[in-house]
Amino acid sequence: MTLAKRSLAESFGTFWLVFGGCGAAVFAAAFPALGIGFAGVALAFGLTVLTMAFAIGHISGCHLNPAVTLGLVAGKRFPATEAIPYILAQVVGAIAAAAVLFVIASGKAGFSTAAGFASNGYGAHSPGGYSLLSCLVAEVVLTAFFLMVILGSTDQRAPKGFAPIAIGLCLTLIHLISIPITNTSVNPARSTGQALFVGGWATHQLWLFWLAPIVGGVLGGLLYNALFAKEN
């Protein structure tokens, strides 16, 4: 499969992640009386990865996330020369999904991105009011463990065919932990799409949601490779 086709698969997959996960947050989480809440949004993000892992995992590897791509590079599971096309495709897919969500959401009277539009934030823009340091630590640690689950479940020694389930459930758990902290990023592409439509504070704080997930992803890749990789 050519790099162009694999990158296109990444773009479609990331679109689905953002459209499904952020869409659940924007449309369903706060719906009067029947809102799905934090648990529902967490499950929605997990389901997007689970479904796409089965749909495009055999095509592109289903990274859907710059931090995952760079973590896989650090873990020696993905060539560094292909990282930039993958990351660009993921960001394009995320922005496209945010644009579609914006068009749909703006069809309701009184819609405003002032409520956050599922953006990530720290301090006053953290759902629970958590500090910059708290949000930084949470995003680094959670992304590192996400990479370790990805690398472990896709290891040649792991049971075959179950990786999408483990990865999807891991992302669900990550959201259950960190929606109150940062609204959960662990994915710079997902953060970028929403922030561009909110502007202001969301774009000013976006740097953290590139820095922390990438540091965490690379750390997770390095740790797994150093501690648990198959010995020659």
Q: Strand (E) positions, the chain?
A: none
Q: What confidence category does residue 15 fall into, taking pLDDT thresholds of 50, 70 and 90?
A: very high
Range of the domain at 50: 3-228
Lookup: tokens for 27 = 């449309």
Please compute the mean of the pLDDT values over residues 146-165 and round it to a whole number: 96
Does pLDDT of 1 surpass 80?
Answer: yes
Give the three-state DSSP class for 137: helix
pLDDT above 70: percentage of residues in the chain: 99
Averaged confidence pLDDT in the chain: 96
**CATH number where 175 lies:** 1.20.1080.10
Q: What confidence category does residue 178 fall into, taking pLDDT thresholds of 50, 70 and 90?
A: very high
Does pLDDT of 231 surpass 90?
Answer: no
φ, ψ (nearest 5 deg) of residue 157: -85, -10
Please compute the mean of the pLDDT values over residues 158-172 and round it to a whole number: 96
Does pLDDT of 199 surpass 80?
Answer: yes
pTM over 0.85: yes
Q: What confidence category does residue 67 fall into, taking pLDDT thresholds of 50, 70 and 90?
A: very high
Question: What pLDDT does residue 154 have?
Answer: 96
Instruction: Give, in order, the Cα–Cα distances in Å from 73 to each of 6, 27, 89, 200.
Output: 16, 35, 17, 33
Based on the structure, what is the number of domains in the chain? Answer: 1
Q: What angle do CA 185, 186, 192 make, to 5 degrees?
A: 50
Q: What confidence category does residue 232 fall into, taking pLDDT thresholds of 50, 70 and 90?
A: low
Give yes or no for a contact between 83 and 70, defined as CB atoms under 8 angstroms apart. yes
Which tens digits make up the pLDDT trace of 68-85?
Answer: 999 999 999 999 999 999
pLDDT above 90: percentage of residues in the chain: 92
Residue type, 53: A
